[in-house]
Chains A and B, each alone.
Chain A
Amino acid sequence: MITRLSRIFLVILTIFVGAVYLPQLYWVSFEPRIIPPMVFYSPVIQKFMIGHFGHGKYYFTDEDGHKYNRIQADHLLPLLNFRILAARDEMPDSLLGRPISLNEVHRNNVSIRITPKDVNPPQILLYPLFESKPQRLRLGLPDEYFRFTDRMEFINAKTNQINDSLTTIFTQTLLKAGFHFPARKVFGNPTTRKPYDAGYFIVDHDWQLFHLKKIHGKPYCKNVPIPENVKINWISVKEKELREFCGIAITEDNKLYMVMLNPERLQKLPVSDYNREQDHIIFMGNLFYRYITIRSEGHLTTYLTNRDYKLLKTYKEKWPTRYETTAGVLSAFIFPFELNLQSGKTYFINFNFSSFSWKALYLNVILILAAILFLIKRKFVTRRWFDLVLILLTGIYGFIGVLLFEQIE
Chain B
Amino acid sequence: MVKALFFKEWLKIKWAYWTMALLTFLVLIKIGLNLSYYMRILEAKTFWYQVIIMGGMFFQDFVYLPALIGLVIGFTQFMPEISADRLKLTLHLPMKENAILLYMVGYGTLMLLILFAGTYLLFSIMVAYFFPFQVVKAVWISMAPWFLAGFVVYWVTSAVFVERIWLKRIIIIVIAVLFTETLLYHYAYEIYRYSIGYFFILALLWSIGILYTGYRFKKGVLK
Contacts and interface: CB of A to CB of B under 8 A. Distances in A.
Contacts of A141: 45-46, 49
A405 B185 contact: no
Contacts of A16: 179, 202
Interface residues of A, number: 43
Contact of B98 (A3, A17, A125, A143): A3
A404 B189 contact: no
B26 to A, nearest CB: 25
B130 to A, nearest CB: 6
Interface stretch (B8-16, B77-85, B117-125, B209-217): B209-217
Contacts of A122: 55, 188-191, 193
B182 interface: yes
Contacts, number: 122
Interface residues of B, number: 46
A404 to B, nearest CB: 5
Name B's interface SS: helix
Interface in A112-147: 121-126, 128, 141-143, 145, 147
Contacts of A121: 188
B210 to A, nearest CB: 8
Interface in B170-199: 171-172, 175, 178-179, 182, 185, 187-195, 198
Interface stretch (A4-12, A27-35, A93-101, A276-284): A4-12
B189 A124 contact: yes
A128 B193 contact: no
Given A124-B134, A128-B49, A160-B130, A405 B212 contact: yes
Contact of A3 (B53, B134, B138, B212): B212
Nearest to B137: A124
B205 interface: yes
Contacts of A160: 129-132
B44 interface: yes
Interface stretch (A49-57, A75-83, A238-246, A343-351): A343-351
B45 A142 contact: yes
19 contacts: A2-B98, A3-B214, A9-B205, A16-B179, A122-B188, A124-B52, A124-B189, A126-B134, A141-B45, A141-B46, A141-B49, A142-B45, A143-B45, A157-B44, A158-B39, A160-B131, A190-B49, A349-B194, A350-B194
Given A10-B172, A13-B205, A341-B185, 16 more contacts: A3-B98, A3-B214, A6-B209, A9-B209, A126-B134, A128-B45, A128-B53, A141-B46, A142-B45, A145-B132, A157-B47, A158-B45, A348-B194, A351-B195, A405-B212, A408-B215
The 8 closest A-B pairs by CB, nearest first: A157-B44, A9-B205, A6-B211, A158-B44, A6-B212, A157-B45, A122-B190, A6-B208
